[in-house]
Amino acid sequence: MTPASLKLALAGVLARVLFTAGGVWKVQDWRYGKQLAEQAGLHQADLFANSNAASAQARNDQDKRLALEQRLSASDQSHHEALTNAQKDLARLRDRLATADLRLSVLLESADSAAGCSVPAGTGACGVVHGGTRARLDAAHAQRVIGITDAGDQGLIALAACQAYVRELQK
């Protein structure tokens, strides 16, 4: 074999190796390209499913929040109405006390140690009040008693509103 034919044979073998390597490279590229496309499709499907689940959860949370806001609003309205009614009742009671249409009295205990003092009785012997002896309160004292009960009523109504609020939040 001559060196020229040897070079030619070696060039032919090298060309075949390069052609085979290029073909194998191209086949691997097709195979891996197909696998990458499948993985990208699966990844896209996972992202879509996660997005749908997140949006469904957000809608569910928003619906719950809206329902809670509606319940709290209804509770707030009912407690505001109760407070307004109590204030109106107390205002009427104050007016009746101021116009002497109504008088407050206290029941005197018959075995009281201060029974010897002269407290005017609220009703005479011919009165229609059942029970023991009663003494009328002065109008100014009656107004103070009503003011105290007003503050107590408002406190109880506020407490009931707070308790209802906490109950609604715990649902």
Q: In the structure encoding, which two tokens stand for residue 169, read together?
A: 């939040």
| Range scoring the smallest mean pLDDT among 50-64, 65-79, 139-153 | 139-153
The pLDDT value given to residue 142: 80
The pLDDT value given to residue 124: 47
Is 31 a residue whose pLDDT tops 80? yes
Is 116 a residue whose pLDDT tops 80? no
* DSSP codes joined into one string, 48-113: HHHHHHHHHHHHHHHHHHHHHHHHHHHHHHHHHHHHHHHHHHHHHHHHHHHTTS---EEEPPTT-G
For residues 77-106, b (16+ Cβ closer than 10 Å) or e, as one string? eebeeebeebeeebeebbeebeeeeeebee
Question: Considering the chain, what is the average pLDDT of its residues?
Answer: 83
pTM for the structure as a whole: 0.51
The pLDDT value given to residue 25: 86
The pLDDT value given to residue 130: 61
The pLDDT value given to residue 44: 94
| Range scoring the smallest mean pLDDT among 100-109, 115-124, 151-160 | 115-124
For the segment 85-112, the average pLDDT, to the nearest whole number, is: 79
Contacts of 157 (CB under 8 A, 6+ apart): 79, 82, 83, 86
Q: Count Cβ atoms below 10 Å from residue 166 Cβ, excluding itself.
A: 9
CA gap 160, 154 in Å, rounded: 10
CA gap 25, 10 in Å, rounded: 22
The pLDDT value given to residue 42: 93
Contacts of 72 (CB under 8 A, 6+ apart): 165, 168
